[in-house]
């Protein structure tokens, strides 16, 4: 598969090189005026320092003021962009992917890149049109962490945040930071960190925090230490997952529901942006509070762009990204933790109590099946035809609306897979919906149900 994805760059390190990063730095830097500030960071992967260095060299060659932020979480790079009022920024990272993958996230201007801009970058490299060299480019190193801590404290100061919190950075970018920052902001919190040393090989824990099976040690520590709350970040620190005091890993929808409630009356006239994989219970909760809800294609850049253009108050993606209007539509895993802690304190409730007040949600996880590109198109076309009598959405793949739920099939942007997801009114109707959906899909339907059955058995 191509390293040029729908809204960023990501691929095996064997397909990447310092020369490519240098070229990307030149092309992106040439789109800005000479002397423009451009902060750059990188994650903990072993290849990230060399790639970050090459990208900075590219920026300097076209006359930019490149600010080397070093190794740090992605949200801190976007904070640096806001803090420095920079017209662009970039992060060398592959987020939650395995250590043999790397990539690049960036912003030039007011919006994240779209597919056309990603392909423009690709064409620039292929054609050798990388912008003219300009003099005056400089590099400076900056530790943005003091400014970030001060901003976090000013935003959330005043709360005690009492209780014992287990913090799991997963040896990623929040290692050595998250627990300390939380104790600074919430003076009554006791933070105990696990997997808290940077390791670009992620030998202690998978960097994908959205999968409960990767959080088993966190759950064990919660139970062993009788902790009140647990948090886990992904590799670059923008995603976050929660574990309550009963050792239950919250689904992304349960976390989103709690966050929706935290805005209260702010929803009157406010907009919620969510991806089509999200349970209908969450936009329904927003509407009950007086807000508007807009569905969007899955993907960080798509949700953030919609947040910016629609002036969204809050946004959520079931992968564990949570977006805020006050962050210029962006997301920040630690900011989300602070918001949850403050809301729990205001309500005088534990995370477990808030989770139990969430309406029951009956969705499947992503059911991933591998198919060649041509097969994927044929399967999606078949599903459109088979369910032509039902309302359908084409925002992201095809989502079919049934009287008792919905079914979604979409193409993965990172792997040769189709992702299937379903929601029903209860466990029985969910099983019935999946059975009806696969009825006329032959071998594909059989594979879908076998995957669904395995996932169901794993959750028992």
Bridge partner residues of 103 (DSSP): 10
Provide CB contacts within 8 A for 401, sequence distance 6+.
390, 391, 392, 393
Bridge partner residues of 39 (DSSP): 67
Q: Which two tokens stand for residue 181?
A: 């920052």
Let me know if 404 is exposed, middle or buried by CB neighbors in 10 A (0-12, 13-18, 19+). middle
Q: Which two tokens stand for residue 131?
A: 């912008």
Q: Rounded to whole angstroms, what are the CA distances from 128 to 3, 19, 121?
A: 18, 12, 11
Q: What is the largest CA-CA distance in the chain?
A: 67
| Cα–Cα dist 111/207, whole Å | 27
Active site residue 17: no
With beta carbons less than 8 A apart as the criterion, state whether 280 and 406 touch. Answer: yes
Give how far the C-alpha of residue 431 lies from the chain's centroid of Cα atoms, to the nearest Å: 29
| Cα–Cα dist 445/373, whole Å | 18
Q: Which of 23, 36, 95, 298 is catalytic?
A: 95
Provide CB contacts within 8 A for 353, sequence distance 6+.
none
Find where tokens 């239950």 sit.
248
Helix (H) or strand (E) holding 37, with range, is strand 37-42
Closest CA to 233 of 376, 98, 334: 334
Provide CB contacts within 8 A for 21, sequence distance 6+.
51, 52, 54, 55, 58, 92, 104
| Cα–Cα dist 9/101, whole Å | 10
Q: Cα angle at 256 between 252 and 261, to 5 degrees?
A: 155
Q: Which two tokens stand for residue 436?
A: 């009806």
Active site residues: 95
């Amino acid at each position: 598969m191509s390293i040029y994805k729908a809204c960023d760059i990501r691929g095996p390190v064997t397909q990447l090189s310092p020369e490519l990063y240098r070229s990307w730095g030149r092309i992106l830097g040439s789109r800005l005026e000479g002397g423009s500030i451009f902060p750059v960071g990188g994650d903990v992967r072993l290849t990230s320092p060399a790639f970050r260095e090459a990208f900075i060299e590219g920026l300097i060659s076209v006359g930019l003021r490149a600010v080397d932020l070093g190794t740090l979480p992605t949200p801190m790079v976007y904070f640096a962009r806001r803090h420095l009022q920079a017209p662009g920024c970039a992060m060398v990272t592959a987020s939650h992917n395995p250590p043999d993958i790397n990539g690049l996230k960036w912003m030039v201007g007011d919006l994240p890149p779209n597919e056309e801009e990603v392909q423009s970058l690709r064409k620039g490299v292929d054609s050798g049109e990388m912008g003219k060299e300009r003099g005056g480019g400089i590099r400076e190193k900056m530790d943005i962490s003091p400014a970030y801590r001060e901003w976090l404290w000013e935003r959330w100061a005043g709360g005690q945040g009492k209780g014992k919190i287990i913090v799991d950075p997963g040896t990623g970018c929040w290692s050595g930071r998250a627990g300390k920052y939380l104790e600074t902001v919430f003076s009554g919190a006791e933070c105990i960190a696990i997997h808290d040393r940077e390791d670009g090989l992620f030998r202690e824990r998978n960097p994908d925090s959205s999968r409960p099976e990767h959080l088993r040690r966190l759950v064990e520590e919660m139970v062993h230490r009788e902790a009140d709350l647990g948090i886990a970040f992904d590799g670059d620190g923008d995603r976050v997952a929660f574990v309550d005091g009963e050792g239950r890993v919250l689904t992304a929808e349960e976390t989103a529901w709690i966050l929706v409630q935290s805005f209260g009356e702010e929803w009157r006239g406010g907009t919620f942006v969510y991806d089509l994989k999200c349970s209908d219970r969450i936009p329904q909760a927003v509407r009950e509070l007086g807000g508007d809800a807009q569905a969007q294609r899955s993907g960080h850049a798509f949700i953030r762009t919609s947040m910016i253009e629609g002036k969204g108050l809050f946004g959520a993606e079931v992968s564990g990204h949570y977006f805020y209007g006050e962050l210029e539509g962006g997301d920040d895993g630690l900011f989300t933790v602070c918001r949850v802690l403050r809301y729990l304190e205001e309500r005088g409730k534990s995370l477990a109590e808030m989770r139990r007040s969430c309406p029951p949600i009956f969705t499947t996880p992503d059911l991933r099946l591998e198919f060649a590109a041509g097969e994927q198109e044929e399967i999606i076309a078949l599903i459109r035809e088979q369910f032509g009598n039902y309302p359908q959405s084409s925002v992201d793949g095809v989502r079919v609306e049934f009287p008792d739920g919905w079914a979604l099939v979409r193409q993965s942007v990172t792997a040769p897979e189709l992702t299937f997801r379903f929601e029903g009114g209860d466990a029985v109707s969910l099983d019935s919906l999946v059975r009806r959906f696969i009825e006329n899909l032959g071998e594909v339907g059989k594979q879908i149900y076998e995957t669904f059955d395995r996932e169901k058995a794993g959750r028992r």
